[in-house]
Amino acid sequence: MTTPDGGSRFAEFGPPRRVEGGLKARSTKGAIGRSWWSRRFLEVLESFALGTRLTRGRAYARRGQVLRLDVAPGLVTAAVQGSRPDPYPVRIGLAAYPDGVWERIEAELAGQAFFSARLLAGDLPAELEELFTATGAPLFPATVGELDQHCGCPDFAVPCKHLAATFYLLAEAFDADPFQLLHWRGRSRGALLDRLRTLRGAADPGGAPAAPAVAPDGPVVPADADSGPARPVAGAGRVLAGLPTVPPDDEVDRFWVSPVALPDRPPTLATGPELLLRQLGPPGAAIGGPGLVERLRRAYREFGRGEAGSDDPG
């Protein structure tokens, strides 16, 4: 492309300027992304046929050309140093879910102790993606059109190497703090965990202390000098306190017997169609690269729906 005076628009550009103190990718070679959520994020981008374009920014990410990276609800902003004196501003938009959607998600999360425990421990279980999808709010973008990509450089390619470098650093930011991914979708770590604690506490019948003037329901630990005033028994004590004392000789025989009757529940093994894919590493470039995983995942989901439909009568 030429300028009005006949020169090349890109004549002033050369190698990127060296940066001191930039954000460098921790990965020095090979794939970027260690956790399932960061690898999944990059897999989704590669499934949009962005794989070859993303590699343009990998060197930028590893050289520390990204000066700043900020994640906010619905928007990631960055500053990437190129060949010009001033760094290029980068923006990547992804729709943040409104409060009503997050309230529905939080109710689902709080209703399952597995998710609440993992999230409160600072972890995102792989099953979280399926829960988000089931609530109608996918965790990751489904199409490239959901990503609003802008860079201040003159390169018309989308993503350019500055956007691509930002994507790689964003994936590593998800490695360091998985809640950044949820923050991008509209819920900060503190707000989400506070809400889960509130919902779990409301659902726990033993969680609220009894008022001092009202006699508590259920067993009570008697008062003594060591333990202080009488207090209601919580948790498993509510079930075990009323059971008769078992002689020591019988305790050995009854060690593996449940103190209360367990509900009848036939053994089941419910696994998603993507279980095998989650156990395998990304395939090599010769057979399709990481983008192959996304295509297989979609195929397995279709096969799973077909098998479920085949059981219908008629």
Least confident of 161-165, 198-202, 281-285: 281-285
pLDDT band at 207 (very low <50, low <70, confident <90, very high): very low
113, 125 Cβ separation under 8 angstroms: no
* Contact between 162 and 82 (Cβ < 8 Å): yes
Cβ contacts of residue 154 below 8 Å, gap of 6+?
Answer: 9, 10, 13
Give a three-class secondary structure readout of 281-313: CCCCHHHCCCHHHHHHHHHHHHHHHHHHHHCCC
> CA–CA separation, 8 vs 12, rounded Å?
8
Would you give the distance in Å from CA 196 to the centre of its chain?
16
Q: How confident is the model at residue 285 (pLDDT cuts 50, 70, 90)?
A: low
Q: Which residue has the tokens 């979280």?
A: 128
Asked if the model's pLDDT at residue 179 lies above 90, the reply is yes
Whether pTM > 0.75 for this model: the answer is no
Q: What is the pLDDT of residues 222-233, one digit of tens each?
A: 544 444 455 444
Q: Is 182 exposed, middle or buried (0-12, 13-18, 19+ CB in 10 A)?
A: buried
CA 115 → CA 29, 79, 128, 131, distances in Å?
Answer: 33, 35, 8, 10
Q: Return the percentage of the chain with pLDDT > 70, whole number.
A: 64
pLDDT exceeds cutoff 50 at 221? no
Q: Determine the average pLDDT of the residues in 35-39.
A: 89
Among 39-53, 191-205, 258-272, 291-305, name the one with the lowest average pLDDT.
Answer: 258-272
